[in-house]
Amino acid sequence: MNWRFRFILGLITLSFFVVIARLFYWQVVKAQELSTMGQLQYGKVVTTLSKRGEIKTSDGFPIAANKITYRVFANPKEVKDLKETAELISTTLGIDPASVSANLSLDRFWISIATEVEPKAKNDLKKLGLQGVGFEEQYTRFYPEASMAAHLIGFVGKDDLSRPKGYFGLEGYYDLLLKGREGKAIQIHDAFGRPILAKLGDLEKQIDGSDLLLSLDRSAQFLVEKRLKEGVEKFGAQSGMAAVINPKTGEILAMSSFPNFNPANYEDSPDSVYKNPFISDLYEPGSTFKPLVMSSALDLKLITPQTKCSACAGPVSVSGYDIHTWNDKYYKDINMIDVIMHSDNTGMVFVAQKLGVSGMIKYLKRFGIGDLTGIDLQGEISPTIKSENLWYPVDLATTGFGQGISITPIELLSATSAIANKGERMQPHIIIGIKNPDGSTVKIQPKSLGNPISPETAKVMTEIMVNAVDKGEASWARLKEYRIAGKTGTASIPIAGHYDQTKTIASFIGFAPANNPKFAMLVILNRPTSSIYGAETAAPIFFDIAKDLLIYYGIPPGE
């Protein structure tokens, strides 16, 4: 009897512990999961959107911000008078009554009627006390300065699931950082399966997006946009663009393209205007490219400023092609200083041939030509430089004066900034800080991309460019009270396999003050009609902006 008793007692004890263990497992270990499953029997998982981070200019102004709007929703099963409700909603919100009526006729507990409804319209609708109609607060992107810096900022549209998504510019490049992380919550239903929209239980808390702090100077941006728009209209250009950079840090101070668009109403503009041409368009830079080629030969000590061109007495023939100066004027034994001052194409062929293909490719790559600059904007492109064995003698010759080679404006501005910065090239960037949702701020430090030329070469090239401003074709527009280094550019546009001499890209690149630059700037006009020359169109825009900026930055004359 004893062994039977002990066996039964042991069995009971074991069963007791098994029951206790299972209870512990279900009530403690699986408690949260069971709770969630239980809630889901009376609700559904809904997504809660995070607050998108703001984009702020250097003075802390939110150039891209958020405003509170509302989603209007309804429970069709609670709507008493469908026709009257549809009419009142459509009249108050200014939307199609047929669409509202169709939505209210659906056999559902919840439907969305309208989004991004302004507070006044929401309040007007709420006062009507329509049964079965409710409101949900949401954030809508808002651009206080309208079209200012539109190509740089980009815009917020919708993805395939109708969720907010950044496109182009900073909104596109930093979309993941700006949008944060969506949350998930349980939408509770009552005993009849009707949603109780005020009762939400968090499954995963949303994380708001980070704020972007820009190097963009709002006042400088305003000045650039104003002068550029005036210039495009005055000189009858199809379009224009300009950008200002701090050559010592690579920080973008202003960037503008015209025509532009309003990010808040981007649908009203053609898709072709969205991309930023300063980083996304290829063009032949023409004579603004000459300082890069000249400084390369100077750096290799293949020439000096006083080296005389032995092939500049007339047109130069290369592989059966005759290369002329832009005005068919020629100067025998012209030196390198005057080659830049007169923008002499034959002189630049002489310099290019001194460099040779290998030397040309080596220095173009050192200047970043053929590579992405890495600027933090969506849409940057860059063609690669072709292999040395694919170059013909005429390719080398025309590259010397900026034709037959395609680059982006940001490549040229970045490369020329190295001359302004004692030979050191800094990575172009627009973000100088990121403010996280927890209040902490991460500062973005300037990044060096190397030294394509020596400080001594940069100093010599700067003086050659100052001479070009003082005595060259654009000297009539210069600011006599300041030392400015610069170069004009007029590049014929290739059309159907040949260059149309009547259609040009007119440009001017430079930096000021020459001895201690506060900024470098590139201005480009596409197909100006009042004159095809950069000296007569882009140059005066450059000097107008430069004057405004020098005064704005408080730089006294004589610098």
Are 520 and 498 found together in one domain? yes
Of 197, 214, 231, which closes a domain? 214
Are 131 and 239 found together in one domain? no
Domain extent for 243: 218-260+277-552
Are 467 and 443 found together in one domain? yes
55 closest CA partner among 163, 195, 150, 197 = 150
Local confidence band at 307 (pLDDT 50, 70, 90 cut-offs): very high
The radius of gyration of the chain's CA atoms, rounded to the nearest angstrom, is 33
Q: Please report whether residue 23 resides in a domain.
A: no
Are 300 and 331 found together in one domain? yes
Q: Please give the full DSSP string across 340-381, using - where no structure is assigned.
A: HHTT-HHHHHHHHHHHHHHHHHHHHHHTTTTS----SSBT--
Are 166 and 235 found together in one domain? no
Task: Taking residues 437-442, report their average pLDDT.
Answer: 94
Q: What is the CATH number of the domain that holds 408?
A: 3.40.710.10
Q: What is the CATH number of the domain that holds 54?
A: 3.90.1310.10
Q: Looking at beta carbons, which pairs linking 16-24 to residues 24 or more positions away fall under 8 Å?
A: none
Are 175 and 236 found together in one domain? no
Q: Render pLDDT for 277-290 as a digit per residue (tens, 0 to 9).
A: 999 999 999 999 99
519-526 β-sheet, strand order: 252-258, 239-245, 519-526, 498-512, 485-495
Q: Please report whether residue 267 resides in a domain.
A: no
258 closest CA partner among 285, 280, 284, 278 = 278
What the block records as the tokens of 273 is: 């205007």
Bridge partners (DSSP) listed for residue 186? 45, 201
Are 222 and 204 found together in one domain? no
Q: Please give the full DSSP string across 394-416, using - where no structure is assigned.
A: HHHHHHTTT-S--B-HHHHHHHH
Of 160, 194, 214, which closes a domain? 214
Are 365 and 498 found together in one domain? yes
Q: Please report whether residue 406 resides in a domain.
A: yes
Helices assigned H by DSSP within 106-208 = 119-127, 150-153, 169-173, 175-179
Bridge partners (DSSP) listed for residue 320? none
Local confidence band at 128 (pLDDT 50, 70, 90 cut-offs): confident
Q: Please report whether residue 160 resides in a domain.
A: yes
Are 99 and 241 found together in one domain? no
User: For residue 154, how far is the Cα from the chain centroid?
Assistant: 7
Are 447 and 326 found together in one domain? yes
Residue located via tokens 């405003």: 67
Q: Please report whether residue 476 resides in a domain.
A: yes
Local confidence band at 85 (pLDDT 50, 70, 90 cut-offs): confident
Query: CA separation (Å) from 537 to 193, 236, 298, 380, 519?
Result: 70, 10, 30, 27, 21
464 closest CA partner among 313, 332, 348 = 348
DSSP 3-state of 260? coil
Q: What pTM value is reported for the model?
A: 0.87
Are 165 and 185 found together in one domain? yes
DSSP 3-state of 540? helix
Are 168 and 224 found together in one domain? no
Residue type present at position 455:
P
If one counts the domains in the chain, the total is 2
Q: Render pLDDT for 456-507 as a digit per residue (tens, 0 to 9).
A: 999 999 999 999 999 999 999 999 999 999 999 999 888 766 777 789 999 9
Share of the chain above pLDDT 90, in %: 69
Q: Please report whether residue 1 resides in a domain.
A: no
Q: Please report whether residue 506 resides in a domain.
A: yes
Q: Please report whether residue 17 resides in a domain.
A: no
